[in-house]
Structures are given as structure tokens and as C-alpha cells.
Amino acid sequence: MTLRAGNFVPKTYMRRKGKFCYRTDIGQVRLTNEDQALILANPQGDILMVVCDGMGGHNKGDLAAKMTMDIVAKAFRSKPGFINITTAKWWLYKTIKEANRQIYELAESDPANKEMGTTIVAALVKGNQVAIANIGDSRAYIVTNEGLKQLTEDQTYVDFLYRAGKITKEEEKNHPQKHVLLNALGITPSVSLDIDIYTYENTPIMLCSDGLYNNVSDKEIFTVLKTSDSVNQKCDTLIDIANSNGGTDNIAVALWEAEK
């Protein structure tokens, strides 16, 4: 179990203030924890959030997730800031591609690591915009007054079937192939990477692995995130609910609440 939380109060010339918490939990079924979560801020006040979910059933999913997190974190810490959201998006693209290259090459060089991989979802807040990068089925949400809004699209076989009109949303929840990914980091020499830019209006941002949203409904997540509890308490509550509902996978959650 890991837990990190804190406040980020930038200097007067910076544009972002807020509170954050990131946490992973092994859940109730898995023997190891292959999830990773992290939130960082740079001197300009840009916020980076990342969640990775090592691929269950594959060799060294925990290593792939940790490698990815270490590569992204090191690159962000060495970058003093970004000129604009376009440069931030390009940095995300290059950094995640580099993580893919390193994971793939390590897997190819050592049979013990063959086919290791991970999902990644990342949010990079720059001023009044946010870039969201996604590979796999971890998710990024924002919390509005109307409800929980998912910003990413699951890159899974069952989500493809749903979008093609082959199955219903209810059938998707219990489909026997719901965990089959169509895209993952580190499996192939080159990876397809989605990065979208959204206007950011200081709404809370939450990233999570499927171990959370498969065990906690959107309505339950929204209810927890709209309480007056601290970010620490909210992360604790979400993980507690996921575990009480079966804890069928590792759980990762990263929550950022900007000061309005």
C-alpha cells in the first residue's frame, strides 16, 4: 500500500495552487501490486498526474509500470517548464514514446520480461488548459457540478464492441473479455498514443486504474469527490469502497483539486 498527499503552493508569479493525493492498493485478490500513481509540480506551477497499471497475466507488469513512472517523473523533474500547452503535449508524446522504447527493448533482451507492458494515463495542467494522454484502459475524469465526466476512451476489445453497437453498456460491464486491451505501452516497438487538449477551469481531476472504476460506480465516485472531505480522505474512501466491493484488482487513484 502506498499513499502520498500534500499541498502545492507556488510563488506569486505562478498560476496554480491546490491539494493532491495519490495512492495505490493491492486490492483483495492479487498477490502483487502492479499499479503506480504520482503527482508532481514544476517551478512554473504546471501539474503532472500519472497512473500506470502493469498488465496482469503478463511477465513483469509491475516492472513495466514502475519503469514508465520513473522515466516520466525523471523527465518532468528535469524540465523547468513549458512555453505553452502545445510544447507540454509534445513533451508528453516524446516522453511516453521513450518509455515504450525502453520497456520494449528490455523485454526483447530478457526472456523473463517477455511481453511485459502497462497502461498509462497522464494529465498535464498548463494554465487554463490540460493535456490528457492515454494508452490502455486507465481513466482520466473531471468532476463537474453535473457529474463525473470521463475524458479518456478505454482502448479495450469490449469498448470497441460497445462503440460499434455490438453490445450494450450493461453487457460491457460483465463481458468475459472486458480486460482484453487493444493498446498497451511496451508491447510493440511503436505505440499508438492519444493526447487531447481541453480547457481547464479548476475542476477536480482524478486519474485511476480499472481496479477502481470496475468496483466503484461513477455515481459513488462522484458522491465521494463532491464531499467536503480532504483529498486524503477522498482517496481513502474510494479505495475502501473498491475493496469492500470485492477489490478484484490492484487499485490506483490520483486526485488533484485546484484552489479556486
- Mapped onto helix, strand or coil, the DSSP state of residue 247 is coil
Q: What are phi and psi of 56, to 5 degrees?
A: -65, 140
Report how far residue 204's alpha carbon sits from residue 225's, in angstroms, rounded to the nearest whole number.
8
Residues of the chain with pLDDT under 70: 1-16, 56-59, 157-178
Residues whose CB is less than 8 angstroms from the CB of residue 9 and which lie 6 or more positions away in sequence, other chains included: 17
Domains of the chain listed by start with CATH number: 2-152+184-258 (3.60.40.10)
Sheet holding 205-208, edge to edge: 2-8, 18-25, 251-258, 205-208, 139-143, 148-150
Q: What is the pLDDT of residues 15-30, one digit of tens each?
A: 568 999 999 999 999 9
Report how far residue 137's alpha carbon sits from residue 198's, in angstroms, rounded to the nearest whole number.
19
What is the model's pLDDT at position 11? 33
Length of the chain: 260
Q: What is the pLDDT of residues 179-209, one digit of tens each?
A: 777 889 999 999 999 899 999 999 999 999 9
Comparing CA positions, the residue from 148, 159, 118 lying closest to residue 135 is 118
251: enclosing H helix or E strand: strand 251-258
pTM of this structure: 0.90
Report how far residue 210's alpha carbon sits from residue 113's, in angstroms, rounded to the nearest whole number.
23
